[in-house]
Structure 1
Amino acid sequence: MATPNHRVKLVSLPPESKISKAFASTNLADAYSIELPSRASTNPELLARFIFSHRAPWIRNLIAVRDAIVGRLGLKTAKQLTSLGEESEAGRIGAFKIYDISLTEIVLGGDDKHLDFRLSVYCSNQPSSGSKRQLTFSTVVHCHNRLGRLYIFVIAPFHRLVVQSSLRSAAQIGWPLATEA
């Protein structure tokens, strides 16, 4: 279901999100929100799978470049992580491990020697007074060493573009309906 409002807004981490307290300290924390149409699903797992399966081609190319670089540094590539999902589909969405699922949120992420990260797709099931239902995509990262801090410094601008583009693309394609959940 397409929505006329494809505006993605930078917002604070939702305080009720499980990732807001995932790490004692963070080197990156951001959240982007987009309005969900009234008939769209609020199933966070369905929405996460939808977002990650409808990425723009430039994002896939960017990930391929990232993998070529980080693979040489001994870090996990998206291809390696996705292959783990092929072995155990229930516990992953693409390259991301599922850490927690509730009625309003799915927490995904991964841990590596240079950093740990968590992603959240959080959905408001009911609109708050005078506002619309929102999907909020949040990210928190905790770095273990200089390599992690350097990595985040380099990829943070791309990360922000990828998240915003992914949310806009999902809205333009049309969110899954509540009946598809």
Structure 2
Amino acid sequence: MIPTISTVPADSVIYQRLHGASFYDCHAMDIPPTDKSALALYLQVVADTPGWVNALMALRNRTVRLVGLKNLGHLGDVDAGKPAGDYRVGDRVGIFSIIHLADEEVILTDIDHHLKVELSVRKHPHKVSISTVVHTRNLLGRCYMLFVTPLHRRIVPATLRRAKF
């Protein structure tokens, strides 16, 4: 199964957040039929984050400290022993916090003074889509995205590709 660039699903909650976004994208991939929730699928995806992604996150964290941004940790820094069903809106899941939680879609966010990132994992029949929506808040956010955008476009498909669905 190979991830493909897709459109943000019009029936998703994240679609309503596109207005005014500085950046957004969506990657989708076919998966076998599953009764897992969207959050369980997200946990499955980040459980096997490629090592080079964690290395980039470590570099990012060291670099952005110089301009006062927070250390996010690694994408896969989640509690492997905590089942998806134990999470609630407001809980941290690795580098993100849950702001929307339903069986078919979870939206996670991280907000800093330079930008607001929202990530949606949307479960469809036989497919999963991951949409990212970014609203920059200032010049620092716009400069940050100049460096992050090309990397992001590689990270999501690479992480999806490694997921064991």
> TM-score if structure 2 supplies the norm length?
0.87
Q: Report which of the two structures shows the higher radius of gyration computed on alpha carbons.
A: 1
Shift in alpha-carbon separation, 1:10–1:23, aligned structure 2, 3 A: closer
Structure 2 residue identity aligned to 1:112: D
CA–CA distance in structure 2, aligned partners of residues 35 and 60 of structure 1: 25
Deviations 1:103-154 (A, max 9, x none): 2000001111100010000001x3xxxxxx1100000000011110111111
Q: 1:13 aligns with which of 8, 16, 20?
A: 8
Q: 2:140 aligns with which of 137, 147, 163?
A: 147
Q: 1:52 aligns with which of 38, 46, 71?
A: 46
For 1:130, the equivalent position in structure 2 comes to none
Kindly report which structure 2 residues correspond to 1:78-157, keeping only aligned pairs within 5 A, or say none: 78-79=72-73, 91-124=91-124, 126=125, 133-157=126-150
Q: State the Cα distance separating 1:23 from its structure 2 match.
A: 5.2
Unpaired stretches in structure 1, ≥5 consecutive residues: 1-5, 127-132, 176-181
CA–CA distance in structure 1, aligned partners of residues 122 and 112 of structure 2: 24
CA–CA distance in structure 2, aligned partners of residues 30 and 7 of structure 1: 16
Q: 2:26 aligns with which of 23, 27, 31?
A: 31
Shift in alpha-carbon separation, 1:9–1:57, aligned structure 2, 3 A: same
Deviations 1:6-57 (A, max 9, x none): 211100101111111225301111000000113x344111111111121011
Higher normalized contact order (CA 8 Å, seq sep 6+, divided by chain length)? 1
Aligned-residue RMSD, C-alpha: 2.1
Structure 1 residue identity aligned to 2:149: A
1:162 aligns with 2:162: no
For 1:64, the equivalent position in structure 2 comes to 58
Aligned residues between the structures: 155
Structure 2 residue identity aligned to 1:29: Y
CA–CA distance in structure 1, aligned partners of residues 150 and 41 of structure 2: 24
CA–CA distance in structure 1, aligned partners of residues 70 and 55 of structure 2: 17
Q: State the Cα distance separating 1:81 from its structure 2 match.
A: 10
Q: Contact 2:39/2:103 (CA < 8 Å) preserved in 1? A: no
Shift in alpha-carbon separation, 1:54–1:41, aligned structure 2, 3 A: farther
Shift in alpha-carbon separation, 1:156–1:25, aligned structure 2, 3 A: same
Deviations 1:76-119 (A, max 9, x none): 11139999x9xxx7501101000111120000011111000100
Structure 1 residue identity aligned to 2:143: L
In terms of fraction of residues, the more helix-rich structure is 1
Q: What secondary structure is seen at the aligned counterpart in 1 of 2:97?
A: strand
Q: Contact 1:56/1:166 (CA < 8 Å) preserved in 2? A: yes
Farther off after superposition, 135-144 or 74-83: 74-83
Q: Contact 1:82/1:96 (CA < 8 Å) preserved in 2? A: no
